Every structure is written in structure tokens, then in C-alpha cells.
Chain A
């Protein structure tokens, strides 16, 4: 679709929040916000659900548990059993520490690389970077972009709502 998108700049988090409120109330979709800090209060309005990352991490942790225990079992029970002081080759309590650490390690690696993959990071450029002053999104400016409109009139209305909420400027861009 080549229709221009709307990009609005706000100077405060409260202004961004009221703009999101106004647009969400009129069921605009394809909204994205940019803020220098986490604003979880916007999620419900934008229909964002909780990240599914937690389930991935659980899976990663379970895999780590199995692998860590498996390595120890393979090494000390199956491949090269050592009998020292009459202790059993399959000494479960002795395998607990490394299994625990392996579980945590695999879960943490899944959390870190999982979030990078889900966000397609590293991604050093996005179209918004071409907008003058957009880089302040990481510092003290709050941005709202809207990309889905029924018509030109609809887009004009959305721009009105953004201005009404206190947008410093609203830009229509093809990018």
C-alpha cells in the first residue's frame, strides 16, 4: 500500500497517552509508539498482549536441564564410569548442581537471543530514522505512527485527533 502514513511527535508521555487513547477509542489500527522508556500502560489500548517469550524460556530451561543431566549421565555412568570409594556411578545428588546451572544458563540464553530474534535485532535502520528529529525518541520525545486508514478523509481525521492530543507536529510520509 502506498498510502502515506502519519507520524506524530509529542513532547510529553501524557500527550502520547492521550493521543493513543483518542485513536484507540475510534478503533484505528496499525498504531505504533516510540518512547524513551517503557510505557506498559499503553499496551491495553493498543491491543498488545503479553509477550510469549516466557514460554520459549521455559522450553529453553527444560532443554538445558535435560542436556546438562544427559551430559553428566553419559560421561560418568555410560561412557566412562568411575568407581571411587564405593560410590554409585549414577550418583543423582552429585549431578544436581551442574544440572541446575545448565538449566539456568540455557533459559537465560533463550531469553536473551529470543528477544533479539523476536524483535529482528540488530536492525540498524528503520524508515522512521529518515524523519528529522526522530532520534529524540530515545531521549525526550514521544512518537506515534499510524499506518492503516480507510480513506484520505479518515487519515485527516486521525491527524486532527493527534493534534488535538497535543502533537507538536504531524507528518504524512510515504516511507
Chain B
């Protein structure tokens, strides 16, 4: 009698084992990141005013680095986005004589979804990876231990300014992106001789916007910035790194940041539907 009869194939058990290991590793990573986020929040609450002459300029430096430097890129994206949305929208809506909904579509697509998410992805790619490389290099060069030997809390000195700076940066950049896209959308419609007066266009936008949109926009953008900061700082700081491992940490940051922002976006979408 065959002893292996009735057992699942070895390939299947191996696949299940590997999948289980990966799920387990992902859950452990998620737990570590959640703990890191809670520690950072507690430091933010308890030490925000501590050493403000040293730490607060670091927040502004982060806004300069992750915000101001990305402004030209966001203006470019805003111009392109306005053009793309309006061109597609006008083509579709004019077929059914529903041009009056252009403003509604702009608000739905741009303000509620695409603006915050696209901004977060650009900031993740540019500032998130820069963060993990900088912090990972510090970790590999044992500079974190040097900070601790001086009585300086690395979470307070390195993570808190990044979290606040990135949250502010994503909010400001997303605001500029949306404003530029709205204006460039109208300009494109004007150039294409779409019969849409500025007053009608901006009136449609005003009618489509609700107070929840402003609240959602602010919450989303600040949360995305915080998620990018937590993910990149966690990957750079939370575990011992060698110089060779920094590029892998940057890759993990992009993946984890992307997943984190998209999941958060889904949570906000569900919340918005029920508000």
C-alpha cells in the first residue's frame, strides 16, 4: 500500500508553507510598524516643545526638502492632469449633453481621489526613498548609537520632524496640484472652444464641493504624509542595517508605502460613503 496515498502533494504543502511564512512575516512587520507609529505619536505629544530650537527647524527643513523642491513637478503634473481629465470628460459628457457635470467630475476625481493619492505617490518616490537612504546610512554608520550616547532621542530628533514635515508637504503639494489642474482644465476647455464660461465652470465646482470634501482632503493628505514618514523611518531605523541592505530597504519602503496609502485611501472611501 502506498504510504503517501491520501496526503496532499508536496508541491502544494510547500506552497502553503511559503505563503504562510510570508503572511506571518507581513503580519509581524505590520505589528512592528504599528508599534513604531504609536511610539512616534507618543513622542509627538509628549516632546513637541522639547528642544524646539533644534528640532523645529528640522520640520521646516523637511518641508523645504519634500515640499518646496517638489513644487515644479507638482505644477507639471497638475497641468497634465487637468488637461487629461477635461479632455476625456468633455468628450464623454458632450455626447450625452451633460457638460454641466464637468465640475462634479473634477471634484470627484481630482479633489477626492486622484489629487491626494498622486501627490502621496510622488512624495513617496522622492522623499520617502531619500529618507530611508539617509536614515539607513546613519544606522549603518552607527550614528544612531552616537545620538543615544548624547542623550538625544532618535525618534524625537529624526522621526518626529519627518512625520510633521511630510504631512504638511503632502497637504500643500496636493492643494497646489488640485488648483493647477482645475485651472489648466478650464484653459484646455477654452482652447478647445468648449462652450464653458469660467463663471459656469467654477460655479459647477463650487456646487459640487461639500464640507466633507475639505475635511476628507485634509485628513487624507496629512495621513498619507504620516504613513510615508512612518514607513520610511521604520525601514531606515528600526532594525540594524548594513550599507549593502539600504537599497533593499528603499525598495521595501516603496512597496509598503504604496500599499499603506492605497489601503488608507480605501478606508477613507468607505468612511466617506457612510458620512
- Are A and B interaction partners? no
User: Which residues of B does A touch, CB under 8 Å?
Assistant: none
